[in-house]
């Protein structure tokens, strides 16, 4: 036997082999049903919104990496996820330049400023959306009816509005189920909400498409199922209690759970691994906190929708939960010191 050169490495010499980019790629796959459905419901406008959002996130990530002299990290797929999620939370007729700005803010402010993937405190897509909500309150609450007959042949003119121009929404806006309930007290049919044939943000309307993607990730072991379950369960229980107390005044728990961005938020935004706690107990507290907050904001807050703020506040709570809650170490009787 001739002399061999042998490699040296330290144990373990086996790896599970599911790397971060593989997880991220699968999250993108899991978002396909919701994305496809939103394009079906809102047509070319949704396609343009999501496309612009993804493009701006990728460009921002790439540019910031180059600018700081690092290798580009766009191929870890995390910027794609941010782009898709941001696009899905925006109204389908949102001016494209605003969407572009949202992507730049999401990556630049929400992610890069904190140190990039893994270091951001808040979900970048929601940071982007929160800034857009503050800057363009009218545009972001101007909706578009679902299933317009010309949705595949024409595009809402407001998409092409340029900066410093007042977007003209040419009377196409329609109330979302949440705003209809909030301001006019009209409750939508639960089945319409589940299937998503209602107006609203691009991709948050169809519960079935979102849950399908979520189940895929749970099946692949790439999503912590305890997060969506605790958010949905706590929102359901809390709103259920209110509904039982006064059915005239408060919406049904079904309405709360299936309307607005709750499903998308619970499955794809609150579950962002970076912004959620690590321990089991922490995750359940985090999820319940978000679920209850959503109900509070929706019912007593000034806005019809509260998922975005609830998750951002949950993100703020997560590091604290991680600090306080540690798993009980084997062979120790008390919770270990933190």
Partner 1 sequence: MKLFNFYKNTFKHGIHPPEHKDDTKDLPIKQFSFAPVFILPMEQHIGGPSELLVNEGQEVDRGQLIAKANGYMSVPVHAPVSGVIRKITKVPTVSGKMVTGVYLEAFPYSGQEVREGIPLDPEDASKEQILNAIQQAGIVGLGGAAFPTHVKLKVPEDKQCDVLLLNGVECEPYLTTDHRVMLEQSDDVFMGIRYLLKATGAKKCIIGIEANKQNAADHLEKNIPEGLPVEIRVVPVKYPQGAEKMLITSVLDIEVPSGGLPIDVGVVVVNVATSAEIGRLLPHGQGIQERVVTITGPGVKKKGNYLIPIGTPIRYVLEEVGISDQISEVYLGGPMMGVAISNLDIPVVKGTSGIVVYTKDEVPDVQREFPCIKCGSCVDACPISLNPSKMGLLSRVKAYDEMAETCNLMDCFECGSCSYVCPSNIPLVQRFRIAKSIVRKRKAKAHA
Site residues for partner 1 per CB under 8 A: 1, 4, 6-23, 76, 115-119, 224, 273-274, 276, 278-279, 322, 326-332, 336-338
**Considering the complex, what minimum distance in angstroms separates the CB of residue 102 from partner 1?**
23
Q: Are 331 and 292 in contact (CB under 8 A)?
A: no
What is the residue whose two structure tokens read 């070319």? Answer: 44
Q: Which is nearer to partner 1, 99 or 271 (CB)?
A: 271
Q: Are 88 and 31 in contact (CB under 8 A)?
A: yes
Token pair belonging to 296: 């509070």
**Considering the complex, what minimum distance in angstroms separates the CB of residue 2 from partner 1?**
9
**Considering the complex, what minimum distance in angstroms separates the CB of residue 290 from partner 1?**
17
Q: Are 177 and 252 in contact (CB under 8 A)?
A: no
**Considering the complex, what minimum distance in angstroms separates the CB of residue 236 from partner 1?**
25
Q: Which is nearer to partner 1, 15 or 166 (CB)?
A: 15
Q: Are 110 and 128 in contact (CB under 8 A)?
A: yes
Report d(CA 26, CA 238) in Å as an integer.
Answer: 32
Report d(CA 171, CA 167) in Å as an integer.
Answer: 12
Angle of CA points 79, 81, 85, to nearest 5°? 120
Q: Which is nearer to partner 1, 117 or 256 (CB)?
A: 117
Q: Which is nearer to partner 1, 16 or 69 (CB)?
A: 16
**Considering the complex, what minimum distance in angstroms separates the CB of residue 310 from partner 1?**
20
Token pair belonging to 36: 């496809």
Q: Which is nearer to partner 1, 81 or 206 (CB)?
A: 81
């Amino acid at each position: 036997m001739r002399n061999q050169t042998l490699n040296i490495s330290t144990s373990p010499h086996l790896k599970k082999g599911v790397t971060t980019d593989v997880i991220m790629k699968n999250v993108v796959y899991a978002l396909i049903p919701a994305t496809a459905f939103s394009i079906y419901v809102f047509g070319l406008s949704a396609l343009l919104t999501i496309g612009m959002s993804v493009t701006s996130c990728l460009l921002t990530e790439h540019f910031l990496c180059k600018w700081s002299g690092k290798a580009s990290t766009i191929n870890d797929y995390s910027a794609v996820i941010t782009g898709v999620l941001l696009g899905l939370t925006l109204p389908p007729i949102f001016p494209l330049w605003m969407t572009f700005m949202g992507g730049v803010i999401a990556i630049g402010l929400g992610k890069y400023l904190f140190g990039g993937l893994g270091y951001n405190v808040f979900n970048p897509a929601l940071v982007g959306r929160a800034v857009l909500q503050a800057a363009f309150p009218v545009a972001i609450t101007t909706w578009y009816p679902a299933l317009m007959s010309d949705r595949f042949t024409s595009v809402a003119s407001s998409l092409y509005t340029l900066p410093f121009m007042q977007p003209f929404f040419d009377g196409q806006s329609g109330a979302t189920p949440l705003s209809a309930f909030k301001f006019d007290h009209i409750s939508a049919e639960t089945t319409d909400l589940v299937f998503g044939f209602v107006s609203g943000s691009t991709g948050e309307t169809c519960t079935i498409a979102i849950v399908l993607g979520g189940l895929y990730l749970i099946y692949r072991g790439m999503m912590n199922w305890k997060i969506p379950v605790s958010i949905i369960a706590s929102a359901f229980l809390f709103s259920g209690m209110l509904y039982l107390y006064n059915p005239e005044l408060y919406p049904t728990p079904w309405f709360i759970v299936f309307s607005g961005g709750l499903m998308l938020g619970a499955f794809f935004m609150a579950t962002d691994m970076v912004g959620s706690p690590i321990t089991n107990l922490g995750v359940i507290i985090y999820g319940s906190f978000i679920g209850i907050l959503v109900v509070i904001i929706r019912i007593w807050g000034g806005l019809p929708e509260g998922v975005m703020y609830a998750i951002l506040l949950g993100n703020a709570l997560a590091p604290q939960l991680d600090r306080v809650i540690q798993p009980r170490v084997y062979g120790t009787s008390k919770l270990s010191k933190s």
